[in-house]
Amino acid sequence: MTVTFDPFVAHHPAVLVHEMDGPDFERAWKLAGAPDAVAESRVVCPVCGDGHLRDRGTSPRNSRAWIRFSCGDVVTQEVTAG
């Protein structure tokens, strides 16, 4: 059985998902899609400034994109009303 990481579903320990401004998240998402060595060195955690790219994905439950960093922080694109 394959376990898929989904930060929008309850985990133990809990995961706090930080929201980022749309253009900032999109820039980080594109950089995270670069070849591994490039992405790991250029994508730095916007929350703490120390973590580096660990992985990225899309929630199978709500199709929201997320980026996870080596420090444990997870970011997603900010959702605004209307």
Q: What is the pLDDT of residue 74?
A: 94
Q: Tell me the pLDDT band of 4, cut-offs 50, 70 and 90.
A: confident
> 40 or 75: whose pLDDT is higher?
75
Res. 2 pLDDT band, cuts 50 70 90: very low
Average pLDDT, the chain: 84
Alpha-carbon separation of residue 67 from 1, 81, 82 (angstroms): 23, 22, 24
Beta partners for residue 20, in sequence order: 77
Q: Where are the domains of the chain?
A: 17-77
Residue with tokens 């970011």: 75
- With CA atoms as reference, report the closest residue to 7 among 69, 74, 70: 74
pLDDT at 81 over 80: no
Residues contacting residue 6 through CB under 8 Å, at least 6 positions apart: 59, 60, 61
> How confident is the model over 35-52, as a mean pLDDT?
83
